[in-house]
Amino acid sequence: MAGPFPGSVLVVESEAVSGIPGVEGWGYGAFARNTERACVTVPLRREDGTATEFTVPDFVGDPEDVRQIAAIVIGALEKWDRVKGLGA
């Protein structure tokens, strides 16, 4: 279902989370495509409710490329979680 304006982000009705191969405890939420900006936002959800997201150009469509980017983003978030209480 497209938004009310040309180029608006597509709205996906399902909020289901699918697992990310090789990344324990994390899954993808519903991807959102922005046709005006030619990009896709990829939500990430951890089993404990932690969430983040990243946006890539729409030509990044290979599932393995998306998985690798997700793993990098998740790794950076988990590193940040570990050090934020240490005054870093």
Tokens of 71: 């793993």
pLDDT, one tens digit per residue, over 22-78 is 999 999 999 999 999 999 999 999 999 999 999 999 999 899 999 999 999 999 999
Q: How far is residue 38's CA from residue 45's CA, in Å, rounded to a whole number?
A: 23
pLDDT band at 16 (very low <50, low <70, confident <90, very high): low
Q: What's the whole-model pTM score?
A: 0.76
